[in-house]
Amino acid sequence: MGKQLDRREFLALTGAGMAGWALSGAHGQEHAGAGQNGAMYTFAAVADPHLSENREGELTGAEKFRRVLGAIETLDPAPEFMLMLGDIHPTVLEVLLPEASLPIHAVAGNHESKEGRELLRSLFPDDFQGKDYYAFTHRDDLYIAMCNAAHVDHVGHFETETNTPSVGQCEWIEEQLARRDKFNRVILFGHIPPDPELRPNGMCLGQNDGRWLAQKVQDTQPTALFFGHRHHRVWFDIAGVPVYGMRSCNWNFNNEPVGFGHVFAGSNGLDVRFIETGEEA
């Protein structure tokens, strides 16, 4: 666990653009042959935009998200889509959506009310198809979008009355993970992560849900998991599978910088680089 984390941490500190791509390839040959088999692409992982939350003396939440969209425009290789990891405030996203130059795949966070989830589903009808959780494929890979946040509850739940439908998601996730062998990579994403040690944690998945998810991850060995919610960087492994708890692009605890993940899907797993989008001091 430690060795892998250290290397990923190093890669997260490498420069933007092709320099970072080339450098990551030079350390561990993550991308050897990726260009030949067409498996190489990148995507953006954006957490907790809190689009209607405007902090005194700072850019508005909407402007901070515009900085994310602007930074994405400069990345090389260009991200092919964005995962939006909850706490979105969909009424503002509806206004900003025409400014996004790449497809967005979103999940609700605990800030999204039942009405907010309804609006979110209406913004991305092809993904949601009437439910708050869904799966999509990209190239040879499967992405599983989990809705594990109840409205106004910092503890995560797979089953809650504010989810549509309120129950049944765990069985659906099992069905998706049963398809593991049909895909090159399988990536799960949601809003609230499990606690790294699966202990009771008021900012993580409820303990039983966390234990269940960890067991599924151990049994099926997906490629990686992405979450938001904690507003600071929390990266760890479950049975060797990397879990990326991403910083918010609006505000973070511990004075950690705002930004998003530029994720490189190479021939041998993922590399995640953090792209800062805060104002220069």
Applying CB under 5 A, which residues contact Fe ion?
A: 48, 87, 109-110, 229
| Minimum CB–partner distance for residue 110 and Fe ion (Å) | 4
Q: How far apart are CA 165 and CA 162, in angstroms?
A: 8
Toward Fe ion, which CB reaches closer, 138 or 154?
A: 154
Q: Are the beta carbons of 228 and 86 closer than 8 angstroms?
A: yes
| Minimum CB–partner distance for residue 125 and Fe ion (Å) | 24
Q: How far apart are CA 69 and CA 73, in angstroms?
A: 6
Q: Are the beta carbons of 203 and 231 closer than 8 angstroms?
A: no
Q: How far apart are CA 245 and CA 232, in angstroms?
A: 8
The one-letter code for the residue type at 125 is P
| Minimum CB–partner distance for residue 1 and Fe ion (Å) | 26
Toward Fe ion, which CB reaches closer, 25 or 109?
A: 109
* Terminal alpha carbon distance of the chain: 35
| Minimum CB–partner distance for residue 43 and Fe ion (Å) | 20
| Minimum CB–partner distance for residue 92 and Fe ion (Å) | 14
Structure tokens at 266: 């190479």
| Minimum CB–partner distance for residue 274 and Fe ion (Å) | 17
Toward Fe ion, which CB reaches closer, 110 or 169?
A: 110
Toward Fe ion, which CB reaches closer, 144 or 155?
A: 155
Toward Fe ion, which CB reaches closer, 185 or 229?
A: 229
Toward Fe ion, which CB reaches closer, 23 or 203?
A: 203
Q: Are the beta carbons of 177 and 135 closer than 8 angstroms?
A: no
Distances (CA, A) of 222 to 96, 117, 143, 206: 32, 27, 10, 21
Q: Are the beta carbons of 246 and 257 closer than 8 angstroms?
A: no
Position with the least CB separation from Fe ion: 87
